[in-house]
Amino acid sequence: MRWLVLALLCLQLGEGMVRIPLRKGRSMRELMREKGMLESFLKGDPGRKYQLSNAVAYEPLTNYLDSFYFGEISIGTPPQNFLVLFDTGSSNLWVPSTYCQTPACAKHNRFDPSLSSSFSGISVNYTLSYGFGDLSVTLGYDTVTIQNIFVRNQEFGLSLDEPSRPFYYLDFDGILGMAYPGIAISGYNTLMQNMLQQSQLAEPIFSFYYSRNPTYNYGGEVILGGLDPQLYSGEVLWAPVVQELYWKISIEEFSIGPSATGWGGPGRHRPVGPRAVFFRPISGHFISAFLQALGAEESDYGFAVDCSNVPSMPTLYFAISGAQLPLPPSVYVLNNNGICTVGVESTYVSSASGQPLWILGNIFLRQYYSIFDMANNRVGFALSA
């Protein structure tokens, strides 16, 4: 099988895993069934557009250099504020803490457990491993607030050590994982699980919108508990999740203009998060063939193309659930003061199957509004407004 990855919300941090054996964990369906929510939800039209209600939280996302998107959460009583990456490629929540004295921690907001009346420690430590670095955390419980959502007794990580590279240079403080419980620290509920158990979501859905013309003050938003039809146009294309770990979906084909490449097939894709790339093929062979088809050459700035040739470059097509999702060259070519580069680079991510692994990032996501349906275990896409 070929492995492709649909990067939906994090940065390449999104390969977040704990260095412990993975567990099955209770599925979102099981949690909803326990709460008596599943039957009534599934009776509705599976293709319907979900209605928004007061229980839906809109969290604005900051865009930093078209590379990172992050929003604000609070932890503790009284609340202490943190900027976090909303990451569909991992499942744990952690923030810097006063237990950590490294320069990376000192530069960021740090959680002080002594200032929170609702904090309780667990005295359990873990190492969290991400695509660009590892850190050690100790676990605790406290209240987590996101807009009008309040989650009580949420397990989270308080950093003990953060290496300067890369954490010192990041403009966000921590990471909020939104993938399945199977890749979370064993024995503790994820934030998404507790949102469902504590009836904090109007619908068992979350969605992401990235502005086509982002500014630092507004890069888009994450919507917890629903989706917003004003932020997309047309119908939603749904793709079933093929494995409840990451948000993996199947892709049938990838085409460059009218020419199918054969790089798709019965592959699997995992939404992982936004960086300034739209995909990251693991294989040098695929990279070379792709760049040759686009007339791109490697340079000090990346894979460069002549800016005057961009209008005549081919549209890329991703076949998902029997439909073609186009990505025109005006989207996948980046123009930085007259220097044009293709938003692609080789990935460091390994593939368990040994087949090519791709990641789609924020260039793709600015084109397509993305929806994560926890009850029906599927991912939806619609053309962004």
Q: What is the pLDDT of residue 67?
A: 73
Q: What is the pLDDT of residue 251?
A: 79
> Three-state SS across the chain?
CCEEEECCCCCHHHCCEECCCCCCCCCHHHHHHHCCCHHHHHCCCCCCCCCCCCCCEEEEEEEECCCEEEEEEEECCCCEEEEEEEECCCCCEEECECCCCCHHHHCCCCECHHHCCCCEEEEEEEEEEECCEEEEEEEEEEEEEECCEEEEEEEEEEEEECCHHHHCCCCCCEEEECCCHHHCCCCCCCHHHHHHHCCCCCCCEEEEEECCCCCCCCCEEEEECCCCHHHEEEEEEEEEEEEECCEEEEECEEEECCEECCCCCCEEECCCCCCCCCECCCCHHHHHHHHHHHCCEEECCEEEECHHHHHHCCCEEEEECCEEEEECHHHHEEEECCEEEECECCCCCCCCCCCCEEEECHHHHHHEEEEEECCCCEEEEEEEC
Tens of pLDDT, residue by residue, the chain (385 residues): 333 333 333 333 333 323 222 233 444 445 445 555 445 444 443 333 334 444 589 999 998 877 778 999 999 999 999 999 999 889 999 999 999 999 999 999 999 999 999 999 998 999 998 877 789 999 999 999 999 999 999 999 999 999 998 899 989 999 999 999 999 999 999 999 999 999 999 889 999 999 888 776 789 999 999 999 999 999 999 999 888 888 888 878 888 888 777 766 554 454 434 444 555 554 556 778 888 889 998 888 889 999 999 999 999 998 899 999 999 999 999 898 899 999 877 665 655 665 556 677 788 889 999 999 999 999 999 999 9
Q: What is the pLDDT of residue 281?
A: 55
What domains sit in the chain, N to C, each tagged with a CATH number? 15-224 (2.40.70.10), 229-384 (2.40.70.10)
Does the model's pTM come out above 0.85?
Answer: no
Q: What is the pLDDT of residue 52?
A: 40
Q: What is the pLDDT of residue 353?
A: 60
